[in-house]
Amino acid sequence: MAILVTGGAGYIGSHTCLELLNKGYEIIVIDNFSNSKPESLKRVSKLSNKNFKTYQIDLLDKKRLDEVFSTNQFEAVIHFAGLKAVGESVNSPLRYYENNVTGTILLCEAMRKYGVQNLVFSSSATVYGSTNEVPISEETQLNAMNPYGRTKQMCEEILKDLYLSDQTWSISILRYFNPVGAHISGIMGEDPIGIPNNLMPYISQVAVGKLKHLTVFGNNYHTIDGTGVRDYIHVVDLAKGHLKALEKVLATKEIGVYNLGTGQGYSVFEMVEAFEKASGERIPYIIKDRRPGDVAICYANPSKARNHLGWKATRGIDQMCQDSWRWQQNNPNGYNEQAEKQNRREQPVFNHASDFFMPKT
């Protein structure tokens, strides 16, 4: 039986698909490609030398979602699909609630209908909001401060209530800290649409000359050098954390919430310095006011994931920057259109009955 990966073409989803295939799992991907490109799945196929079904559908399309479940056998679902830009969520809250919360409910309804009750859910450290308690443990009071974070907090509550109503479900909720980096091959990585909101992709685009300079949002926080401190975690460590959570949900009938972070915080200036070392490029910056909604310090207590999932991040800041830089240098325009047009030409014709395609290696 297969593992269904929703949002499998995304940054964390695609890296997790690769780890799943390399571990011997059969996968099926659904993605609406609203914030990702089929090219990422072609790279997954290339690196794993394996093919898999992909359905281009939206979780809100109940009929097509039902078709996916009625024509395939799943033993578990890893649910990444969702919108994740904090600023965008403030401007478009209804879109975020419909996409992230309603989408999760429809997915769970389809799972229940077809007797699939093993779920790994992609949550975020954003649910903690601004807390003075660092390192942050899973017991820290939740206090999401923006619509995106609130969609994740609501989904967590929904999943907890679902489990309490029927303890034959098995659910792992993973709260990511700051995912960065790329697969060591340099052919998979983060491909933000437009100007990056997040620090690492912004820095790497400055290093490759796509952007002029970095804007540092505030240097008057009570931190080591006045700039914001975050728990950056390598995307491959994060992907491997999902496999550990999948093993957990397949082996037990319980619900668990886990921080996926390194437990080590780095400031903006420390990240700039590490990236300059990894790339050999200077990262010019200007300092502006704090960004609304930012907290000073946020890093994880990752001991629960270590003790209950047998998972620990192993890749340090230097590898995060080296792997990011390799991806950025090899793919200055990410999964660019040219590669995608090339991929479409090679692509087998959609099978209208099941409307899926197999990315060719």
Nearest to 24 by CA among 43, 63, 56, 52: 52
| Minimal distance, residue 165 CB to ligand WQD, in Å | 27
Task: Give per-residue burial for 76-87: e unless 16+ CB within 10 Å, then b.
Answer: bbbbbbbbbbbe
Examine residue 150 and tell whether it contacts ligand WQD (CB under 6 A).
no
Point out the catalytic residue in the list 11, 96, 97, 148.
148
Half-sphere exposure of 70 (CA within 13 A, CB side): 8
Indicate the residue among 97 and 176 with the shorter CB distance to ligand WQD. 176
Restricting to residues 248-287, name those near ligand WQD by CB under 6 A: 268
Candidate list 99, 126, 140, 259; residue touching ligand WQD; CB under 6 A: 126
Residue owning tokens 């009929």? 63
Indicate the residue among 48 and 227 with the shorter CB distance to ligand WQD. 227
Examine residue 205 and tell whether it contacts ligand WQD (CB under 6 A).
no
Q: How far apart are CA 166 and CA 15, in angstroms?
A: 31
Amino acid making up residue 95: R
- Lay out the site mask for ligand WQD across 57-96 (x = CB under 6 A, - = otherwise): ---------------------------x-x----------
Q: How far apart are CA 201 and CA 182, in angstroms?
A: 11
- Lay out the site mask for ligand WQD across 168-197 (x = CB under 6 A, - = otherwise): --------x-x------------------x
| Minimal distance, residue 133 CB to ligand WQD, in Å | 16
The two three-digit tokens of residue 295, written as one number: 């907290």
Q: How far is CA 111 from CA 75, 105, 108, 116, 154, in A?
A: 10, 10, 5, 5, 19
Identify whether the C-beta of residue 111 lies closer than 8 Å to the C-beta of residue 166. Answer: no
Which residue sits closest to ligand WQD, CB atoms considered? 228
148: annotated active-site residue: yes
Indicate the residue among 22 and 198 with the shorter CB distance to ligand WQD. 198
Interacting residue ranges for ligand WQD, rule: CB under 6 A: 84, 86, 124, 126, 176, 178, 197-199, 202, 214-217, 228, 230, 268, 291, 294
